Structure 1
Amino acid sequence: MGVGVLLAVVGAILTFAVRANTSVISLPIVGIILMVAGAGIIWHARKGTQRQRIITREERPSGASTPTSTVRQTIEERDID
């Protein structure tokens, strides 16, 4: 998320603070592009990641050598900052 904030800050500086005139590149347009890219990175980082873990186990009664049932358990995890 730090990269997104850095891009947004650099973009804001280029858009609002720099008053240089260049014939090759438009600094305000580059600044807007950087701010949009930074916002996209921040949004993607705040969304969090989601993982799914599947556990399969066999349950046996005490003393039995063969399983009597198979249990499948699905656990969904979500990382939140």
Structure 2
Amino acid sequence: MGVGVLLAVVGAILAFAVRANTPAISLPTVGVILMVAGGLLIWHGAKGTQHKRVITREERPNGSDSPTNTVRQTIEEFDVD
């Protein structure tokens, strides 16, 4: 999320504070593009991440020679940084 804030700040500086004229590129336009990209990174980072794990194991009753039972377990985790 820190990179998004950095992009937004640099974009705001380029869009509103820099008054240099360059013939090849428009600095206010680059600034707005950086602010939008920074905002998207901040928004994406605020959503958090979701992880899904599937665990498969075989269980056999204690001391028996019977066939094993296969158990599948799905674990979903949601991390918010």
TM-score norm. by structure 2 comes to 0.86
Question: Which residue of 1 is the match for residue 61 of structure 2?
Answer: 61
Question: Which residue of 1 is the match for residue 25 of structure 2?
Answer: 25
How far apart, CA to CA, are the structure 1 residues paired with 2:32 and 2:70?
56
Aligned length: 81
Structure 1 gaps, min length 5: none
Structure 2 gaps, min length 5: none
Runs of 4+ in 1 over 6 A off after TM superposition: none
SS of structure 2 residue aligned to 1:10 = helix
**CA-atom RMSD in angstroms:** 1.5
Pairs within 5 Å for 1:1-81: 1-81=1-81
TM-score norm. by structure 1 comes to 0.86
